[in-house]
Amino acid sequence: MKVTEHIKNANGKTLFSFEIIPPKKGKSIQDLYDNIDPLMEFNPPFIDVTTSREEYIYIEKQGLLDRKITRMRPGTVGICAAIKHKYDVDTVPHVLCGGFSKEETEYLLVDCHYLGINNVMALRGDAMSHQKYFEACDGGHQYASQLVSQIQNLNCGTYLHDVVEVDDTSNFCIGVAGYPEKHIEAPSLHTDLKRLKEKVDAGADYVVTQMFFDNKKYFEFVDAAKKVGIDVPIIPGIKPIAIKKHLQLLPQVFKIDLPQDLITNIEQCQTNKQVRQVGIEWAIQQSKELQAAGVPVLHYYSMGKSDNVKAIAEAVF
Ligand SMILES: Cc1cc2nc3c(=O)[nH]c(=O)nc-3n(C[C@H](O)[C@H](O)[C@H](O)COP(=O)(O)OP(=O)(O)OC[C@H]3O[C@@H](n4cnc5c(N)ncnc54)[C@H](O)[C@@H]3O)c2cc1C
């Protein structure tokens, strides 16, 4: 079922969902299952699976460094299919512009359609680690809005190059990213919102936000989005802080602000176990307020470990 259908069928009740990351190459999928199992009692209607960008690695060969390209966490679509099969839950693969040509994206979407996966999250992806700015690969998209258009075209039976006789079209429900504190590269929040509107106009059905720690930012974002004509569901993304280093890491990587009270509480912690507890309590507080405000879904960034998300879900759902 589509994410938007799940939301509609919930009749205003806030749903629970979460995002996982594929295991590192060579690692078993069992660890993922062990972390999904405890969360299934909260009936997630869908689970997101991220896609990691490719990266360069350097292999020494006869005194010279040979540059190879690799993806450290491959398998997004396979994992989506495996989870869907094992838990009978909808899965949402993240589809990136970065590192994929339009043709590769078309084949990936065809795979998803055959597997009965009918939700996708369309994202641009970040620049590769050696790049200052994002660059589309040869034959790839520069912006997520173009990827949304490609997915919508496929939903209408329009393939990239081939004129084919179509009797079975896909019907993907498309999610896109939104940034309550604006995307790092956007010159202003208003400009970023206009870009978000372009994604919705291209066919996006819902938005999932970047993590935020002050609900006011989310509420203001939703109001501002409505003012520019964005009328699709905006799902808040919640990340429980788990380690002290997140105080530096999260603002640096995601260009987000942390509230002073949260910073003070974390600074007082002696161990990361205590930090994890503070992160859980903060996320519970955030979640309860968002739930009371009637958000459609509370979507948690689990980062592969579910104990803290389970503790939050127990308190909220
Ligand atoms: C919910 C969520 C899930 C994510 N999952 C993943 C994942 O699985 N894998 C991963 O690698 N990353 C993921 N990301 C990170 C995401 O890829 C990065 O934030 C990326 O930098 C931007 O992606 P986007 O889809 O928002 O890009 P876009 O919507 O294309 O926007 C990127 C920037 O370009 C600007 N822009 C857009 N259109 C135009 C235009 N026509 N002209 C000029 N400027 C324009 C926007 O304002 C913005 O600053 C996720 C982010 C979120 C919020």
Q: Look at phi and psi of residue 229 and say left if phi exceeds 0, alpha if psi is from -120 to 50, else beta.
A: left
Residue 316: per-residue pLDDT: 98
Q: List, for residues 139-186, the tens digit of each pLDDT value.
A: 999 999 999 999 999 999 999 998 888 899 999 999 999 999 999 999
The per-residue pLDDT for range 20-36, each reduced to its tens digit, is 999 999 999 999 999 99
Query: Ligand 1 centre from 35 Cα, in Å?
Result: 27
| Two structure tokens written together for 266 | 């974390």
Q: What is the mean pLDDT of residues 50-57?
A: 91
Residue 141 beta carbon below 6 angstroms from any ligand 1 atom: no
Q: How far is the centre of ligand 1, averaged over its atoms, from the C-alpha of 244 (Å)?
A: 26
Confidence of residue 109 (pLDDT cuts 50, 70, 90): very high
Supply the residue whose CA is at minimum distance from atom 11 of ligand 1: 125
Q: Rounded to the nearest whole angstrom, what is the distance from the C-alpha of residue 33 to the centroid of ligand 1?
A: 28
CA distance 20 to 301: 7
C-beta 76 within 6 A of ligand 1: no
Mean pLDDT (the chain) is 96
- Strands 64-70 and 55-61 come out as antiparallel
Beta-carbon contacts of residue 247 (< 8 Å; ≥ 6 apart): 241, 258, 263, 266, 267
* Average pLDDT of the segment spanning 45-54: 96
User: What local confidence, expressed as pLDDT, does residue 225 receive?
Assistant: 98
Which of 19, 108, 143, 232 is the pocket-test mutation for ligand 1 (most atoms within 8 Å of CB)? Answer: 143
Whether 119 lines ligand 1, by a CB cut-off of 6 Å, is: no
Of these residues, 19, 103, 165, 198, which one is catalytic? 19
Report if pTM > 0.95: yes
Q: What are the strands, taking DSSP E only, across the chain?
A: 15-20, 46-49, 55-61, 64-70, 90-96, 119-123, 173-178, 206-211, 234-238, 297-301
Pick from 273, 261, 266, 277: nearest CA to 311: 277
Q: What percent of the chain has pLDDT over 70?
A: 100
Q: What is the mean pLDDT of residues 295-309?
A: 94
Residue 19 annotated to the active site:
yes
Q: How far is the CA of 125 from the centre of ligand 1 (A)?
A: 6
